Amino acid sequence: QVTLKESGPGILQPSQTLSLTCTFSGFSLSTYGMGVGWIRQPSGKGLEWLANIWWDDDKYYNPSLKNRLTISKDTSNNQAFLKITNVDTADTATYYCARMNIGTTTGVMDAWGQGASVTVSS
């Protein structure tokens, strides 16, 4: 059974760096075809894809966040991470991590965490 869980600071101030952790089980990020993606959703709004990291350490970012994103992984501890620098109120959202599997579902997100709520406020 694949499970993922996001953790983050909850609240942070403008200009700070948001650090999110995705702890997962049921798959390994060292296995061919596996990946973890990050997606966010402001309250009552739609979904925005942020970044992906793959088993071979290939990374992709959404350019709309203008180089503020860094995605990484710790394969030994089954974790993936996302950092967003210089946050502002527009970054207030629920942040999801999700598993991707090229081998079975062509790489789209097929299992999601419960989401971590992040509020940016002074």
Partner 1 sequence: DIQMTQSPASLSASLGETVSIECLASEDIYSYLAWYQQKPGKSPQLLIYAANRLQDGVPSRFSGSGSGTQYSLKISGMQPEDEGDYFCLQGSKFPWTFGGGTKLELK
Q: Which residues contact partner 1 (rule: CB under 8 A)?
A: 46-49, 52, 60-64, 96, 105-115
- Cβ-in-10-Å burial (0-12, 13-18, 19+) of 89 comes to exposed
Nearer to partner 1, 13 or 56 (CB): 56
CA distances from 52 to 31, 88, 108 (A): 15, 22, 10
The enclosing H or E element of 94 equals strand 93-101
Shortest Cβ 83–partner 1 spacing (Å) = 18
The least distance separating partner 1 from the CB of residue 5, rounded to whole angstroms, comes to 11
Shortest spacing between CB 108 and partner 1, in angstroms: 4
